Chain A
Amino acid sequence: MSALCYESPALRVGGFAFEPGEVRPHPGRVTVLLGPNGGGKTTALRLAAGLAVPGSGRVALGGVAVHAMRPPERARAVAMVVQRPQVSAPFTALEVVALGAAAAGAGPCSAGEALRAVGLSGRAGVPFAQMSGGEQQRVAVARAFHQHRPGGVLLLDEAFAAVDPPEAASIVAAVRIRAAAGATVLVATHDLALASALADDAWFVAGGRTAAFGPAKDLLAPAVLGAFLGVKVTAATGARGPVAAADLADRLQAESP
């Protein structure tokens, strides 16, 4: 497995500058990106997928700049789920999953197995366009699983935003299995409970910069997380340890007229 490294990439889009400095997400661990909207989470993932070319610096995978890799070679090393998956042709769910192998061939997880991993094997023949937003996100996750090779990089951008908790839980389990097999996993999310369930490490991104990067048990502690997000964070105790949640009550009180 080759390590992913943000070697001080700098990217300017309009008035927004993304300069996260040097960050090394660990292979075999799930890193959860947290931070305000427009802070640079998606940009961080697009850089790792080679979809954006930094003006200076680079994101390297095994010592090679990701954006300079040949597209099929890059697809074998990095799989990504975007925020709003789109398919502009009348493909079924299973056909959309199979597109993960369109240029780079499939990983060891077949399209059918990938669909089962996201709990949609019963919906394989349903047209993608007729599925709910949450189902479409799960199909996109299955496509990334089908494309993914053990030890590769897996990038999930808000892939659970419209997914119900039971299905989210099974996807979390499937993601963790891949991390345990050596994958470098980056997950951008706003869902603190999901972050608690998924994260080994946390990466706080705000204003295009890295506010903090470190073990989740330190950064997802209510006091630390609350100070970063600017809301009160409470924690319940779950099977895997504390589960964080934003407690918006006192914020609501302060802002009500």
Chain B
Amino acid sequence: MTTGRAARGLTIALIALAAAAAVRLLAVRTLDGAVELGFPGGAIGDIRLSCVLVAAAAGGVLGAAGWILQALLRNPLASPFVLGVTGGAGTGVAVAAVLAALAGAAAPGPVAMVVPSAIGAVGALAVVVALGRRNGAIDPLGLVLAGVIVGTVAAGLTTVAESLLPPDRRGLLAGWLFGRIPEAPDRALLAACAAAALALAGAGAVLGRRLDAATLSDDEARSVGINLGRLRMSLFLACGVATAITVALCGPVAFIGLVAPHCARGLVGAGSRAGVPAAAACGAALLVAADALRQWIDLGAGRLPLGAVTAVLGGIAFLVLLRRTAAGWFA
């Protein structure tokens, strides 16, 4: 809560981001196993730079959205991935791809994916929040269960949609659906994602006190003057749309939105004013680091997909959090 701690924590998060970016830019293990240091110019350098920018923007959105969802839903296990929001976005994109194929149109480009992605993301969140309520109040465990179910159903629908696609269009979707950093991202989409990350971090800084009060029970939050309905609706929508942009950019990336807020809490404390920007910085650092790590792991079949790295490491973190923090949150 104190300003000194917030400034120190934010600085540490940004240093971590810079360090991860430096590793990704300057130290790479080439496909034949040699270690290559230094920054190459030309196309290779451009690819590395754009990978860092994409990972930082997407990680920033997921981290900030994760913190906001955890506060609004009063749940330390909430995140865009756990709540099925990224999965819903993926289904939206897959369904749009099928519709485009059926209509004989070209496969939708990255920018055209944003709309179906947003519809899927916001739709999934609406269903999960509706299912996770009991007697008018949000039930923390019911919410996570609803998220798992909706995420699984969304994955199933995505697979169905994928199998309806003509074979020549399947490969692209399959790689994307596990989360991957595009080497040549659409510039407009990357800019939109970066803007979304900054906007969410800024909204968190401005609305931080209200977000903190929203972690009280409904009656208490409203009695200290929070317009809960409006705060929830506007931020759910913002998180849904921002997540949808990241999904359109690099697929549904798992667990960054869950882990980053907890890292941020360790750095700046529980207050959202510093917490949301710190979660954005942590999310950016984690995703850039995961992408850097991925360059170094070769199990003999080429580099690991980014989604596999975040899913394995993030899944382990989820289980640790489930045991450790759930005890401290539910008074």
- A residues touching B (Cβ–Cβ < 8 Å)? 46, 49-51, 71-76, 78-80, 82, 84-92, 95, 98-104, 127-131, 136, 140, 143, 147
Contact between B223 and A89, CB atoms less than 8 A apart: no
Closest 3 CB pairs of A and B: A75-B225, A88-B74, A103-B225
Query: Of all chain A residues, which has the CB nearest B140?
Result: A88
Against A, the Cβ 8 Å flags (1 = close, 0 = not) of B193-221 are 00000000000000001101101110110
Nearest CB in chain A to that of B220: its residue? A82
- Whether the Cβ atoms of A90 and B216 lie closer than 8 Å is no
Provide the bound-state CA to CA distance between A41 and B323, in Å: 39
* Chain A residues in 8 Å Cβ range of B294: none
Contact present for A88 and B1 (CB under 8 Å): no
Residues in B whose Cβ lies below 8 Å from that of A46: 219
For residue B210, which residues in chain A have a CB less than 8 angstroms away from its CB?
A: 102-103
**Interface flag for B24 (CB, 8 Å):** no
Residues of A within 8 Å of B223, CB to CB, are 49, 51, 75, 78-80, 82
Residues on B facing A (Cβ under 8 Å):
1, 70-71, 74-75, 140, 209-210, 212-213, 215-217, 219-220, 222-227, 265, 270-271, 325, 328-331
Q: Which residues from B are CB-within-8-Å of A140? A: 220
> Inside 8 A of B328's CB, which chain A residues have their CB?
90, 127, 129-130
**Which residues of the other chain, B, contact A130 by a CB distance below 8 angstroms?**
328
- B270–A86 CB distance below 8 A: no
Known: A51-B222, A85-B217, A88-B329. A71 touches B212 (CB 8 A): no
On whether the beta carbons of A90 and B329 are closer than 8 Å, the reply is yes
A85–B220 touching, CB < 8 Å: yes
**Sample of 8 more A-B contacts, CB < 8 Å, known A99-B216, A130-B328:** A49-B223, A80-B219, A89-B74, A90-B328, A90-B329, A99-B212, A127-B328, A143-B224
A102 engages B219 (CB within 8 Å): no
B265–A90 touching, CB < 8 Å = yes
Asked if residues B329 and A71 are in contact (CB atoms below 8 Å), the reply is: no
> What distance in Å separates the Cβ of A59 from its nearest Cβ neighbour in chain B?
14
Q: How far is the CA of A78 from the CA of B225 in the complex (A)?
A: 9
Given contacts A127-B328, A129-B329, A130-B328, contact A91 B215 (CB under 8 A): yes
Is B216 a contact partner of A86 (Cβ separation < 8 A)? yes
Jot down 10 A-B pairs with beta carbons below 8 A, ordered by A. A51-B219, A72-B225, A85-B217, A87-B215, A90-B265, A91-B212, A91-B270, A99-B224, A127-B328, A129-B330
A91 to chain B, nearest CB (A): 5
> Cβ of A91: which chain B residues have Cβ within 8 Å of it?
212, 215, 270-271
Considering the chains assembled together, what is the distance between the CA atoms of A127 and B1 in angstroms?
13
Select the residue from B212, B213, B225 with max chain A CB neighbours within 10 A. B225
Shortest distance between the CB of A181 and any CB in chain B (Å): 20
State whether B225 touches A95 (Cβ < 8 A): no
Chain A residues whose CB sits within 8 angstroms of the CB of B325 once the complex forms: 90
A84 and B329: CB pair below 8 A? Answer: no
Give the docked Cα–Cα distance between A71 and B220 (Å): 12
Interface residue from B213, B216, B222, B270 paired with A85 (Cβ < 8 Å): B216
Which one, B219, B227, B331, contacts A128 given CB within 8 A?
A: B331
Known pairs A85-B216, A86-B217, A89-B71; A104 contacts B224 (CB<8 A): yes
In the complex, what residues of B have CB within 8 A of residue A50's CB? 222
State whether B216 touches A103 (Cβ < 8 A): no
**Measured between C-beta atoms, what is the minimum distance from B1 to chain A in Å?**
5
B271 touches A95 (CB 8 A): yes
Give Cα A257 to B331, complex, Å.
Answer: 41
Complex contact B224–A147 (CB within 8 A): yes
Inter-chain contacts of B222 with A (CB < 8 A): 49-51, 71
**In the complex, which residues of chain B have a beta carbon less than 8 angstroms from the beta carbon of A136?**
331
Most chain A CB within a 10 A radius of its CB, from B71, B209, B219: B219
Most buried by B among A71, A73, A147: A71
Residues of chain A within 8 A (CB-CB) of B140 are 88
Contact B227 A129, beta carbon cutoff 8 Å: no
A43 to chain B, nearest CB (A): 12
Q: With the chains together, A137 CA to B328 CA distance in Å?
A: 17
**A71 contact from B70, B227, B265, B330, Cβ within 8 A:** B227
In the complex, the answer to whether A103 meets B226 with C-beta atoms within 8 Å is yes
Given A99-B213, A102-B212, A103-B213, check contact A74 B219 (CB 8 Å). Answer: no
Alpha-carbon separation in the docked complex, A104 to B227 (Å): 11
A40: min CB distance to chain B, Å: 16
Best-surrounded residue of B209, B215, B223, B329 (most CB of chain A within 10 A): B223
**Closest Cβ–Cβ distance, residue A39 to chain B (whole Å):** 19
Q: Assess whether A82 is in contact with B330, with CB atoms less than 8 Å apart.
A: no
| Residues in chain A near residue B216, CB distance under 8 A | 85-88, 99
| Complex Cα spacing A92 to B271, Å | 10
- Chain B residues, CB < 8 A from A127: 328
B220 near A88: Cβ-Cβ < 8 Å: no
User: How far apart are the CA atoms of A85 and B331 in the complex, in Å?
Assistant: 9
In the complex, what's the smallest C-beta–C-beta distance from B276 to chain A, in angstroms?
13
Residues of the B chain whose Cβ atoms lie less than 8 Å from the Cβ of A85? 216-217, 220
